[in-house]
Structure 1
Amino acid sequence: MSKPKSENARNILNWAEDDRPREKLELKGKSALSDAELIALLIGSGTFDMSAVDVGKVIMGLGYNNINELAKLDVKDLTKIKGIGVAKATTIVAALELGRRRSDTIPDQKRKITSSEAVYREMKQYLLDKPNEEFWILLLNRANFVIRALQVSVGGIAGTAVDIKLIFKLAIDHLASSLILVHNHPSGQLEPSHADVLLTTQIKQAGHLLDMPVLDHMIFTDEGFYSFTDSGEM
């Protein structure tokens, strides 16, 4: 007995060659594929009544058709979709995490921090799409080139505890000459809280005593940033 026409149409082997994601990538390049088609390549197969691309569209819909929103989801969120088990969900999460970690800068090239915009670009690879509040320090040498960024603490959606002694221990251990404080606000709120202002003052004073200048404190959000230095508060 032959398969119903509709089921045959769903079979990826029956698609025109340039409509199949894998073949389309080979023929036209990766930029020719939609987000849903790229996800289809990750999951490999669809369900009985949906092609892999159709499932990819459902997955994109879960992230409001926005890759940045999709990257905020976890395995548990993705497995709610029909046809997405733990293996496929972890593949998607891993791929999105790799994309998040990709730096805008050229690999193996020293990056000099000359502005708050440069700090924001540097920290995107660490803080973009994070659902919880995290506190980081960006360590610089005397010429303001990046030594490295280090995570100090991870908290909840509304705050994280910070140990000032740990901040300066890390800075001294890595022979930093100065540092920049960075923490994210998952809510997108750019204005510093009273606690943010107080903590900045305490860390700045400690840095002065240790001859370890604190050059800025940045509040990071996916849409933009707030710089204490730009606002005249340092």
Structure 2
Amino acid sequence: MAKYESTNPRNILNWSEEDRPREKLHLKGREVLSDAELIAILIGSGTFENSAVDVGKIIMDLGNNNINELAKLTVKDLTKIRGIGKAKAITILAALELGRRRSEKTMERKRKITGPESVYDEMRQHLLDKPNEEFWILLLNRGNTVMRAMQVSKGGVAGTSVDIKLIFKLAIDHLASSLILVHNHPSGQLIPSHADILLTSQIKEAGRLLDMPVLDHMIFTDQGYYSFTDEGDM
């Protein structure tokens, strides 16, 4: 029986060797590959209608052609794409998580808090790419060195409830000298809400009564931050 060979031009096997993602990486180096081509290597195959690279482009479109946005997607989001099953979706998300961890490891992080920028650097490892709102505290010693970063609550995309008593219980249990409040806005909105302002005032007053200063409250987004202290709101 004659061996059937596909003539579908979308089939990567019909491309010239140097244009196939794996071979291209081997011949020219990983730097020359597009994001879609790198994803194609991860998923291994496409569909009858689309090559693996075409599927990679569809995946990138889903993340607005932005790797940081892509990292926010879930397995459920990715499996909506034809040709992407659960295993391929998990492979993509695992690769993105490895990239995020590598970025954090190579970044020079300042453990001593010297201002809002160092708070933002410290919290990137905890809040970058998070799809839901989370509330964290940074516990500091007398030298303003980070003792511990702790999650206080986790909510939905538009808010999270915060127990002020829990915040100070954690701070007292860990013998902190002061603390910084941090919560993220997945929407990217950098303007504090009325609820943010009221909560900050309440926590600051509780800290004053307990002789545990609240040095700042930061709104964290993937693109930047809002510091209550910098803006004169503390």
TM-score scaled by structure 1?
A: 0.87
Q: Which residue number corresponds to residue 45 of structure 2? A: 45
State the shift of 1:173 in Å. Answer: 2.9
Q: Distance in 2 between matches of 1:87 and 1:182?
A: 35
Q: Which residue number corresponds to residue 207 of structure 1? A: 207
Using a 3 Å threshold, how does the CA distance of structure 1 residues 10 and 193 change in structure 2: closer, same or farther? Answer: closer
Using a 3 Å threshold, how does the CA distance of structure 1 residues 159 and 79 change in structure 2: closer, same or farther? Answer: same
TM-score scaled by structure 2?
A: 0.87
- AA at the equivalent of 1:97: E
Q: Which residue number corresponds to residue 3 of structure 1? A: 5
Secondary structure in 2 matching 1:229: coil
Q: Which residue number corresponds to residue 78 of structure 1? A: 78
Q: Distance in 1 between matches of 2:95 and 2:174?
A: 31
Secondary structure in 1 matching 2:180: strand
Work out whether residues 110 and 122 of structure 2, in 8 Å CA contact, stay in contact via their aligned partners in 1.
no
| Higher mean C-alpha displacement, 143-152 vs 12-21 | 12-21
Q: Distance in 2 between matches of 1:148 and 1:27?
A: 46
Pairwise CA RMSD: 2.3
- AA at the equivalent of 2:232: G
Q: Per-residue displacement from partner, 1:165-206 (whole Å, max 9, x unpaired)?
A: 211222233332221101111222211122111111111122
Work out whether residues 103 and 125 of structure 1, in 8 Å CA contact, stay in contact via their aligned partners in 2.
no
State the shift of 1:115 in Å. Answer: 1.6
Work out whether residues 134 and 160 of structure 1, in 8 Å CA contact, stay in contact via their aligned partners in 2.
yes
Q: Distance in 2 between matches of 1:92 and 1:197?
A: 39
- AA at the equivalent of 2:178: S
- AA at the equivalent of 1:3: E
State the shift of 1:233 in Å. Answer: 1.7
Secondary structure in 2 matching 1:208: helix
- AA at the equivalent of 1:36: A
Secondary structure in 2 matching 1:168: helix
Work out whether residues 109 and 121 of structure 2, in 8 Å CA contact, stay in contact via their aligned partners in 1.
no
Aligned: 1:34 with 2:34? yes
Aligned: 1:177 with 2:177? yes
> Counterparts of 1:82-231 in structure 2 under 5 Å?
82-102=82-102, 104=104, 106=106, 111-231=111-231
Q: Per-residue displacement from partner, 1:2-58 (whole Å, max 9, x unpaired)?
A: 4353x2x54444544443333333444332221111211221222223222221111
- AA at the equivalent of 1:215: L
Secondary structure in 2 matching 1:136: strand
Work out whether residues 139 and 180 of structure 2, in 8 Å CA contact, stay in contact via their aligned partners in 1.
yes
Q: Percent identity?
A: 78
Q: Distance in 2 between matches of 1:41 and 1:224?
A: 32
Work out whether residues 109 and 122 of structure 2, in 8 Å CA contact, stay in contact via their aligned partners in 1.
no
State the shift of 1:130 in Å. Answer: 1.9
Work out whether residues 218 and 225 of structure 1, in 8 Å CA contact, stay in contact via their aligned partners in 2.
yes
Using a 3 Å threshold, how does the CA distance of structure 1 residues 102 and 202 change in structure 2: closer, same or farther? Answer: farther
Q: Distance in 1 between matches of 2:107 and 2:124?
A: 15
- Uncovered stretches (5+) of structure 2, i.e. residues with no partner: none
Secondary structure in 2 matching 1:218: strand
Work out whether residues 110 and 121 of structure 2, in 8 Å CA contact, stay in contact via their aligned partners in 1.
no
Work out whether residues 103 and 124 of structure 1, in 8 Å CA contact, stay in contact via their aligned partners in 2.
no
